[in-house]
Structure 1
Amino acid sequence: MTHYKLTSALLALALVGTASCSHAEEPGSGEPRPRVIETVEAHGLEVLGEFEAPGGLRGFASLAGGQQPVAVYVTPDGDHAMVGTLVNADGEDVGQPHLQRLVAKPMTERIWAQLEDSHWVADGPDDAARVVYTFSDPNCPYCNRFWEAARPWVEAGKVQLRHVMVGVIRPDSINKAAAILAAPSPEAMLARNERDFSRGGIQGVATVPQRARTQLDANQRLMHELGFQGTPGILFQDAEGVIQRRAGMPAPGDLPNVLGPR
């Protein structure tokens, strides 16, 4: 079963009410849209669709912070909303399959398309069974550890890492990242930096070309948009095809979840 952790902001939203009984029409639905949904949206949730819920409640699938699927349950009077997990007598999350269908899959498709359009360097074969994106800084020791840990999967042809280059750790990080992106073979330059990491890695360019700077700025914006404040920021799809993320170097026991069977 998939579990979704509520942030403090969502906990504050756990029970929302409105004094008004007026309703707005839900596009494409025969039922009016409860006004309390407007209150929920004002607190930062993006409501994406409605689903059937038990006990006379109306269920709404939403997205928090552009990343976290969250269920909203509206009371029969339409004036109150509960945000979070609703379980049945068997302990099952009744909203989870609806969130999967209405939020998680569309969210995965959107984020995956953004990653594909970013400026990344391939590490591994194009026909690998699994693709893993990682926001990488050339001076990041944990990025280097992840690169090293992934070698058995990459060298066996099972995984292609796609390094979305950023320059955020040291003043010369952007110069090194630009040297990788602007190299005749970015793949070879990236590999050289990782192999020589303990000796300082590659030499950065003296002046960052405008094209590389634009690419790196776009990558950094995407990194922050996806909720990562540091590197590595790792994204992959699980067995159900839903995007998962790891902030930082995964624990050894977590590597098969990230990279697949060894």
Structure 2
Amino acid sequence: MTTRRFALTFLATTPLWLTACSKEEASSVPTASRIETAQAFDTLAAEAKGFTAGALMSAQTVYVLFDPQCPHCSHLWEASLPLHTKIKFVWAPVALLGPKSLPQGAALMQAANPVEAMGAHEKSLLAGQGGTAASASIPADIEAAIKANTLLLDRLGAESVPYIVARNATSGQIVAKAGSMDTPALAEFLGLARP
């Protein structure tokens, strides 16, 4: 995989309309390998590796590809919390934004309680404290899973994180969106009644 450079705009200078961390370079994934939106949900269900949060027995699953260093991903995590009683989220870490992304993603995936670890990580990141401390020693299978998630993000044609894929509960259509949103907007995007 080629080395990628990504821009992380500091929140203090971020326009209100910018709700995602974007990459500077275009994807190098061949068009033939791209995943169309209609197939995105099934592909992520089969291939994405992460941890589950929310209503584990829910029939509705939402996939979120996120970078542990992305503040917009942190905001989406916070916005998703009120919906955890209604739907299941699968949070699949990717490594896009810097050297801490892979180790922090690995730490979250290996945590005894990933939901609790994610909550603490996101609070630390939003407080400007850098997130979870993580070991540079990453098991090969976890590293491979995060790299595969990152490739999935490219194959989806996503230009930024967080990247959300779900089946809208009202329309039944597969929906995909890059960027964070508040709880009411997330509920609407997912076809849920307002929280």
CA distance in 2, matches of 1:152, 1:181: 22
Q: Which residue number in structure 2 is paired with residue 226 of structure 1?
A: 156
1:178 deviation in Å?
Answer: 1.0
Supply the RMSD in Å over aligned alpha carbons: 2.4
Q: Give 1:159 shift.
A: 2.0
Scaled by the length of structure 2, what TM-score is found?
A: 0.72
1:88-134 per-residue CA deviation (whole Å, 9 max, x = no partner) reads xxxxxxxxxxxxxxxxxxx3xx4323212310211112123532111
Residue 186 of structure 1 and its aligned partner are, at CA, apart by 2.7
Structure 1: which 5+ residue stretches go unaligned? Answer: 1-43, 47-64, 69-106
Tell me the distance in 1 between the aligned counterparts of 2:164 and 2:112: 26
1:184 corresponds in structure 2 to 112
Take 2:51 and 2:40, find their aligned partners in 1: how far apart are those partners?
Answer: 18
TM-score (ref. length: structure 1): 0.55
Q: 1:251 to 1:181 in 2, by over 3 A?
A: closer
CA distance in 1, matches of 2:132, 2:181: 25
SS in 2 for 1:236: strand
- Give the aligned partner of residue 188 of structure 2: 257
Aligned residues: 159
CA distance in 1, matches of 2:41, 2:186: 20
C-alpha distance in structure 1 between counterparts of 2:31 and 2:133, whole Å: 45
Q: CA deviation at 1:252?
A: 6.3
Q: Say if 1:66 and 1:160 are closer, same or farther in 2 by CA, change over 3 A.
A: closer
What is the rounded CA distance, in whole Å, between the counterparts of 2:82 and 2:182 in structure 1? 16
Letter in 2 for 1:243: I
State the shift of 1:251 in Å. Answer: 5.9
Could you tell me how far apart the structure 1 residues matched to 2:135 and 2:188 are? 36
Structure 1 segments (4+ residues) deviating >3 Å? none
The one of 145, 151, 158 equivalent to 2:75 is: 145
1:215 matched to 2:145? The reply is yes
2:142 alignment partner AA: A
Structure (1 or 2) with the larger CA radius of gyration? 1
Shift of 1:232: 0.1
Q: Is the 8 A contact 2:40 2:165 kept in 1?
A: no
Residues 129 and 158 in structure 1, CA contact (< 8 A), matched pair in contact too: no
Work out whether residues 79 and 182 of structure 2, in 8 Å CA contact, stay in contact via their aligned partners in 1. Answer: no
- The residue aligned with 1:243 is 174
* Structure-2 separation of matches of 1:192 and 1:160: 19
Partner amino acid, structure 1, of 2:140: Q
- Structure 2: 5+ residue runs without aligned partners? 1-29
Compute the displacement of 1:172 (Å): 1.0
Preserved contact between residue 230 and residue 248 of structure 1 (Cα < 8 Å): yes
Q: Which one-letter code corresponds to 1:176 in the other structure? A: Q
